[in-house]
Amino acid sequence: MLPSIRPDDYFLDLSRAAIGDTAFWDESIPAWIVFRSPIEILQTNDLGEVLGILAKVENHRNSGRWAAGYLTYECASALNPAITTKPSSTAPLMWFALYESEPTFHRELLPPENSLTVEDLTPELELSAYKIAFQTVKQHLAEGHSYQVNFTFRSRFNLVGNPEDFFSDRCGVEPPRHAAYLKTDVAAIASFSPELFFERLGENIHMRPMKGTAPLSQPANDMRHDPKSVAENVMIVDMVRNDLGAICETGSISVPHLLEVERHRNLYQMTSTVSGRSSASLTDLLTAIFPAASVTGAPKVKTCQIIQDLEISPRGIYCGAIGFIGPGIERFSVPIRTAYLPRDGWAEFGVGSGLVWDSEVEAEYLECLLKKDLLLQSGRPWRLVESIPAHKVQEAYVRSRHLDRLSRQAQLLNIPFDRELLDSVLARREPTPLHPLQKVRIELEPNGGTYVEVSPSMIQTPRISATLAKSPVNPTDPNLRLKTTSRSVYQRRLDEHPDFDEVLLVNSRGFLTEFCSGNLVLKLDGRLYTPSREQGALQGISISEMIDRGEVTIRDLTPDDLKHGEAIYFLNAVAGLVPVDFEYPAIIKPTRP
C-alpha cells in the first residue's frame, strides 16, 4: 500500500540528520524514504570482512527489520577474487546501518537557507592525459581484450557550506530517480544517481542498466538510431542477462523494456530493463552481478583488470552500490554522479563513459564534463504557487479567492504568509490586455519570502489537444492537492506525449484526476462533471466557483466515461473553459457507427 504523508511530515529537514541516518528517493510513491536512529553500524576496511557483514545485514532483514548502506566498487574483489581493484584509502570499503524502526516518508526536501559554493573543482585528468589513456583503451579493444571499457576519473573540490544543504540544493524539486543521502561518522554521501542497479520484490528481480548519453539539444529519438548508443546498451544488456543467468530460475530472464530514452536534468540517457526470478541470498546475488555491468564493460573480469591498470585512483563509493533492504524488498542504485563529502579534506565526484571501438576522444571527454556539471547546478527550489489572470488582478474579489487558497495551503504547511502586504502589492499592479493571455504568478518560499512575476499563459488557443497519461499517479500524493513548483509528476507525463498540448491523469485506483495544469470537466448526458479531491484532483478557483453555483457536479470518473462524453473541457482560472480534442488510447477508443 502506498503511504499517506501527514502535513507535519511533508518536508524532510536534512539539517537534523544524525550519524547513521539515510534517505532514499522513491519516484514510484513519490516520496523520500528515511531511516533514522540505527541500533548498530557495520563497517570495515578489510576485504576479508565484507562477506561476513553482508551476512549480518541479511540476517537482520530476515528478522523483519531494515538496513541501509553502501558497498564501494572495491568490494568486488571480496565478492569475486578474480576481479582486481585498487586499494581504497578513503571511505570504508562498506558501511551499513541496521534499524529497528520502520522508515518514515516525506514528500519534499526542505530547501536550504544557507548559501554554498563549489570551489577549486579540479579533474584528476585533463584532456591531454585523458587522450593517452583513451589510446591505451583503444589498443585493448583492437587486440580483443575487451569490447567496451567504462573508463572513469575523479574530480576533487572544496565545498563551502554543509553537505545537507548541498544535497537539498542540488536535488531541488526534481531529485534524480535514485537519489540518496547517507551520513556516516567520517563523511556524507550525496548521490544523485539516475540508475537502478537492482530491485528485488519477493523473488522478482529487475535491473535497469543505463548506457548511452546525449545532450538535451539532440532530439531524444536520435539516440534510438545512434549506432554507438544502441551498441553500448545492447552489449551491457547481454552482460546483465548473463550475470542474472547465474542465479535466476531457468527461463525466467526477460527484457521487458529495451532502448528506452529518459530525460535526466541536462542529459538524455538510454536504459533497458532486464528481469528474472531468484531466491538466492543477497550475498550470492551480489556475487553474480557486482559490480554493475554498466560501469565496468565486457567481458567483466578482464575489463576490470584494464580499469585497475589505467585509472589513477580508487573509485570508492562511485560505481559501487547504495541502497536498502527490508521485509520483501532489496533496492540498490549504481552510485554514479555521487559526491563523497568528508568531514575533513577534499570532496570527490566521479565521472566516466563507456568506450567502444568507434568512440571519439573529444566527445567522450565532453560527456564526462557534462556529468560533472551537476555539481554546479542548483535544482529548482520548492515554493507554493498561485496564478491570477493578469487582466483581472485589480479586481478585489478575484485576488481574494486566489489569496484564500494560497493562505490555506501556507497554513497547512506552517509557512508564514503576509497576506495583506501581498494583496496591496497586487492591487497596485497595472492590468494587462486580455490578449495574449497572461498570468500574475506568485511563489511563496517555506520561510515566507514572496516572488511575483507576470508570464504568458501556457494556453493561447481556443482549443487544445490532449491524451491519457501512460502511467498512473498516486492518489495519496500530497502534491496533487497543493499547487507548487514541484511538478515532476506532471512534467514526466507531458514529456511522454510531446505532440499534445495537455495530458489527462489517471490514478492507481483507475479514476481520472485532472490535466497537468487544469481541471477536467466532462459533459455526460447533458450535465457537467469533474473528479473529486479524494481521487487526486486539485480543485482550482474556477472549478470551485462552478461547483458552488451548481453548474458542475463532483463525480468519480473513469477513462471509460470519456468515450461516452459529449464534450471534454480543460479549465483553469487563466485560460477559462477550453474545449479539448481528445485522442483516445487504443484501450478506450470509442467505436464509431
Which residues are known catalytic residues?
195, 211
Distance from C-alpha of 401 to C-alpha of 540, rounded to nearest angstrom: 10
- Cell numbers standing for residue 588: 478506450
Choose among 260, 253, 325, 324: nearest CA to 288: 253
Task: Determine which helix (DSSP H) or strand (DSSP E) holds 190, and give its type and residue range.
Answer: strand 187-193
Cα 391 to Cα 438: distance, rounded to the nearest angstrom: 7
- State how far the alpha carbon of 495 is from the alpha carbons of 32, 81, 218, 491, 579, in Å: 23, 44, 15, 6, 22
352: closest CA among 339, 341, 362, 365?
365
Q: Under a CB-based contact definition with an 8 Å cutoff, are residues 275 and 204 in contact?
A: yes
Strand partners, 196: 333
Cell 535514485 belongs to: 178
What is the b/e burial string over 375-396, where b = at least 16 CB atoms within 10 angstroms of the residue's CB?
Answer: beeebebbbbbbbbbbbbbeee
Tell me what percent of the chain is helix, strand and coil, each rounded to the nearest 5.
30, 35, 35
Block residue for cell numbers 479514476:
511
Helix, strand, or coil (residue 260): strand
Helix spans in 246-360 (H): 282-289, 300-310
DSSP 423-440: HHHHHTSPPPPSSS-EEE
Residue 489: CB atoms within 10 Å: 19
Widest CA span of the chain, in angstroms? 78
In which element (H, E) is residue 331 found? strand 329-333
Contact criterion met (CB below 8 Å) for 562 and 505: no
DSSP string of 69-127? EEE-GGGHHHH-TTS--PPP-SS-SEEEEEESSPPEEESEEPPP-S--EEEEEEESS-H
Q: How far apart are CA 342 and CA 190, in angstroms?
A: 11
Residues in contact with 506: Cβ distance below 8 Å, sequence separation at least 6, in sequence order:
468, 469, 472, 473, 512, 513, 559
C-alpha pair distances (Å), 86 with each of 292, 304, 318:
17, 10, 13
DSSP letter at 304? H
CA-CA-CA-CA dihedral for 176, 268, 149, 373, to nearest 10 = -60
